[in-house]
Every structure is written in structure tokens, then in C-alpha cells.
Amino acid sequence: MLWYTLLTLSVLARLGQAGAPGTNGELSNPKIKDIVERDAKHYLAAFGYMSKPKASKISDGKTQEPSKYDLQTALLRFQKAFLIYRSGVVDVPTHAKMNEYRCGNKDMFQGEELKELSKGEIWKKKVLLWNITSYPTSLTRPQTREACDEAFEKWRQVAGIDFMETNDAKKADIVISFEEFPIAFMNVAAGATRPVNSRIILDRSRIWGYRNHIPRGISLFHTLLHEIGHTLGLRHNFYRGSIMYPILKPALVPYGTLDGVPNIDKISLRKLYGIAQPSEKKLVGDLAGPSKCPKQIDSVTHVEVINKDFALVPRGTTP
């Protein structure tokens, strides 16, 4: 009987160290642990999980490193938000979640929930023009434009705003471009700015899929649906059924799954714009031919200035 009791206590002790069964696993290799912990610090700071430090700089002018307490608190926020076992350490499930493809916009601001936009910061127009200035390597131009048109149509049905494609980027209210992203955050595949004069930026080098199943690919339609939400003023939330969930949908998602704007996002939109009265028919813009606009536009270089919620600046841009 004694040996059985000792065995039980030993098993419980091991479970206490490792966390809840099937949910937690510490990275035991010291070198790997240092690397993933460093990456986690960058991730948590970039996407707003770190609290504002008491002193942002030390005497020699260098930025102060977050304390162990700050890191643990930020990790607990992240784990709670994504329904991961709250270990407070960079364990395997936490590291895996941080490596999923995601939007580059922030989830929080200094550990606090992001504030909603005011009425003065949202669109006043009832017709918004959009334009694509560059394209991905994994899809044709017609496929890309069709994905954009379909995503805008889903928002038109609930926002009371009409979206029209234009061949003139200078006239566009929302400019979409596929850019070369830096390798700093390998998991960031897209991002967008707030109203007005909005930008949607996607990583050109990613494998984008539309109406097809591609291993390791990202659904362009669902990503555009998400990023258009940002251009209308919506922020990230952690409801898994929301299109504004920070993690992007894979191209393996069956077409027709989450193929519209979920109710939770309709409610968020109504808080900003009121109850919409969408037009019965979609307006048709100047779609006669391919865009003659340049593949790159200078306005993309101002992403960091336009939108403080965006955690990433594409390669070659200047803040």
C-alpha cells in the first residue's frame, strides 16, 4: 500500500511540473528555450501583450528589457486570450500558437483591450473605391480580383456601404497590395490600416489559395474578409467564430465555411455605423480591363504613421 501511495504522489508531482495533461510541455533544451523565449518577447511586445514599462529606457539610452514578471504576465494574457493552459511560460502549445499565420495588427495595447474608434474616425462615405496595385505569385490576377470582389461584397451586404473597384489607385479609398515582408515575424502574412485612406498589405511570398485546397496555404478570401474589417474600423477579438480573430484561416478550410460576416462582427460594426440599410444591388465600377496602375505605390511607405495598431512594416518602407 505504501508503494502505491508513493507512486501516486510521484505521478502527481510530475503532473504539477508539466501542467495539465495534454496541454503543457516545457522546452527543456536550454538553447532552444532561450531562442523561443526571445522570440516570445518580441511577439508579445509587437502585438501589445506587454504592459507599459515603468521606465522605458535605462541610463545608457538602450531600451529596457522586460522583467521576468512582465514576461510571465504577458504570457498569461496571451494564453488566456487563445484558450491555452495558463502556465506562464513559453511551453510547446504557446510557442505553436505564436507560429500560426496571423494578421499583423495588434491584439492589445500595453496589455489592455484596444479602444473602439470614435464616430469621427470612421467612414462617412456610402461608396468606397478599392484598387489592387500588386499581386501574389501563387494566384492569377483574375483569381485575386475575384477574391477581393467577393470579400467586399460580403461586407456590402451588412455595412450599408457600397464597394467599387477602380483602375486609379489615386482615387481609391482602400488600396490593396502584395509586398515583400521582412523575416522578423515569419508568421505575419497580412495587415491593414484604419479608416480613412486605408491600406491592406499582404505578403507576396506566401502561398495564397482561393476556392481550392492547398497544403500550408492561406485562404485569400478569408484573409481579405478579415483585413477589410480593419479598414472599416473593427479591431481584433478572441471569439473563434469571428472573422476578426487574429489567426488567419488556412486554404484547407472547406469553401463555404465562414463564407460571410459572422453575427459577432455584424454587432461590432453596428456599434460604429448603426444599423445598416444595404443597397439591393451591387454597384459596378470600372472593371473593363486590367489595372494600369503602377505595381508599387508610395503611400504604402506610411503604414506605420497611418495606423499605430499595425505591428509590422513591409520591407523597404520607412516609418
Is residue 146 domain-shared with residue 191, that is, in the same domain? yes
Residue 19 maps to a domain: no
Give 60 or 266, the one with higher predicted confidence.
266
Residue 13 maps to a domain: no
Is residue 168 domain-shared with residue 123, that is, in the same domain? yes
Q: Which residues pair with 129 in a beta bridge?
A: 164
Is residue 94 domain-shared with residue 137, that is, in the same domain? no
Catalytic residue, chosen from 65, 112, 116, 227, is: 227
pLDDT of residue 274: 87
Residue 92 maps to a domain: yes
pLDDT of residue 6: 42
- Residue 244 is labelled as binding a ligand: yes
| pLDDT tens string 173-182 | 999 999 998 7
Residue 114 maps to a domain: no
Is residue 56 domain-shared with residue 143, that is, in the same domain? no
- Residue 213 is labelled as binding a ligand: no
- Residue 203 is labelled as binding a ligand: yes
Residue 15 maps to a domain: no
Residue 272 maps to a domain: yes
Is residue 158 domain-shared with residue 298, that is, in the same domain? yes
Number of domains in the chain: 2
Residue 107 maps to a domain: no
pLDDT of residue 212: 83
Is residue 181 domain-shared with residue 219, that is, in the same domain? yes
Cα dist from 4 to 8, 15, 20, whole Å: 6, 17, 22
Residue 130 maps to a domain: yes
CATH number, domain containing residue 85: 1.10.101
| pLDDT tens string 219-264 | 999 999 999 999 999 999 999 999 999 999 998 866 666 678 999 9
pLDDT of residue 256: 60
Q: How many CB atoms lie within 10 A of CB 245?
A: 22
- Residue 222 is labelled as binding a ligand: no
Q: How many CB atoms lie within 10 A of CB 125?
A: 11
Q: What is the mean pLDDT of residues 180-186?
A: 74
CATH number, domain containing residue 195: 3.40.390.10
Based on the residue annotation, tell me whether 227 is a catalytic residue of this protein: yes
pTM: 0.80
Which domain does 50 fall in, by range? 24-99
Is residue 63 domain-shared with residue 178, that is, in the same domain? no
Is residue 213 domain-shared with residue 292, that is, in the same domain? yes
- Residue 50 is labelled as binding a ligand: no
